[in-house]
Amino acid sequence: MVDPAPALFALTVAFVTVHELDAVRNHEWRFFFAPFGVSDEPVYRVFTALHVPLFAFVLTLYSLPAFQTGFDVFAVAHGGLHLALRNHPLVEFSGWFSRLWIYGASVLGGLHLFAVVVL
């Protein structure tokens, strides 16, 4: 039997990555930086640029089982946060396309976690 865990984890990371692309489109930085009263353009640049070390971190630790477990937990919790904040006025994610990446990552992370813990 083929182990589904590597593919599930790769899909989890891919879905989170595409969600981050969608986050730029949906001005997610406004949610995080609104209390600071900074204008959109510089904060957009900071938000976008911070993804370089974030993705480097993920790519560096990608194969470590402890990192994978933590990333799975993050993906599940992240979906829960989006669900809880879905009506917040600064959260612009809407429609099936944005929800696909957010909640798809949560489901895939949960499935990967199940595959490595139970199977």
Render each residue's pLDDT in the chain as its tens digit; 119 residues. Answer: 789 999 999 999 999 999 999 999 999 999 988 888 888 899 999 999 999 999 999 999 999 999 999 999 999 999 999 999 999 999 999 999 999 999 999 999 999 999 999 87
Q: How far apart are CA 33 and CA 12, in angstroms?
A: 27
Q: How far apart are CA 18 and CA 4, in angstroms?
A: 21
Measured CA to CA in angstroms, residue 91 lies from 1, 9, 25, 37, 116 at distances of 42, 27, 12, 17, 33
* CA-CA-CA-CA dihedral for 69, 119, 110, 1, to nearest 10: 110
- Predicted structure pTM score: 0.93
Q: Which domain holds residue 75?
A: 5-117
Q: Which amino acid is at 13?
A: V
Domain count of the fold of the chain: 1
Q: What one-character-per-residue DSSP string does 42-55 give? A: HHHHHHHHTHHHHH
